[in-house]
Chains A and B, each alone.
Chain A
């Protein structure tokens, strides 16, 4: 597609429920990233997929967070047993591998509110 698409754009969920956030990267981009943007916290790296390599999960804050990327394209970020501190905007970006960050294209994000 023309850009990185994320869905839903907004999600309100009750504490303790599981949520799934979806990211459709730009066609042909081999690298995909998830970041979390919290008020006053900047952008926090969560996870990074590069081609067929094992993902870099070093930024996932707890084992309640997981992500997968099927067929090297669409990615789903899952948060289990959501907590109020999970409320944030979750951003997805994609790029060509090895472009050193020049070609990052960000989606508009999913605003998650845990009540």
Chain B
């Protein structure tokens, strides 16, 4: 069975700082990878996704993630955060080319101080 782990449970940083959230997965085959975000009081939204091709994917709001197959990683980055990036971030995967069921990591709560 597949699994996703996120290394940091809580991250606190100041505006304009750079952000990197770690995500590692365990699965023996092809995977589709996602980052979702949940802003305070709002529902989960898709930030970005990787299915195939260029391992560096760009998402909304200036976020990007890099798929490194050899490391089973899909880390999320943003060069300069804003206060509005305060949220909980979830890494997730679906297996193979037909899987629909998302498996989520435990989430990382990010607090950006103004």
Interface residues of A (CB under 8 A from B): 4, 31, 33, 35, 40-45, 48, 50, 56, 91, 93, 95, 97-102, 104, 106-109
Chain B residues closer than 8 Å to A45, beta-carbon distance: 101-104
Contact A101 B43 (CB under 8 A): no
Chain B residues closer than 8 Å to A40, beta-carbon distance: 9, 106
A42-B106 contact, Cβ under 8 Å, with A48-B100, A100-B51, A102-B49: yes
Contact B46 A104 (CB under 8 A): yes
A99-B100 contact, Cβ under 8 Å, with A42-B90, A106-B43: yes
- Determine how close the nearest CB of chain A comes to the CB of B17; give it in whole angstroms: 25
Of the candidates B9, B42, B49, B105, the one whose C-beta lies within 8 Å of that of A101 is B49
Contact A43 B104 (CB under 8 A): yes
Interface size range on B against A:
20 to 34
- Determine how close the nearest CB of chain B comes to the CB of A33; give it in whole angstroms: 7
Once the chains are docked, how many angstroms separate the CA of A42 from the CA of B51? 23
Chain A residues closer than 8 Å to B104, beta-carbon distance: 35, 42-45
Interface residues of B (CB under 8 A from A): 6, 9, 32, 34, 42-46, 49, 51, 90, 92, 94, 97-107
Contact B101 A41 (CB under 8 A): no
Contact A100 B105 (CB under 8 A): no
Contact A97 B100 (CB under 8 A): yes
* 13 contacting pairs across A/B (C-beta < 8 A): A42-B104, A45-B101, A45-B104, A97-B100, A98-B98, A99-B100, A100-B32, A100-B51, A101-B49, A101-B92, A101-B94, A102-B46, A106-B43
Contact A91 B51 (CB under 8 A): no
Task: Given A43-B102, A100-B51, output 16 extra A-B contacts at Cβ < 8 Å.
Answer: A33-B100, A33-B102, A41-B106, A43-B104, A48-B100, A56-B101, A91-B44, A97-B100, A98-B98, A98-B100, A100-B32, A101-B34, A101-B49, A101-B94, A104-B102, A108-B42
Chain B residues closer than 8 Å to A4, beta-carbon distance: 43
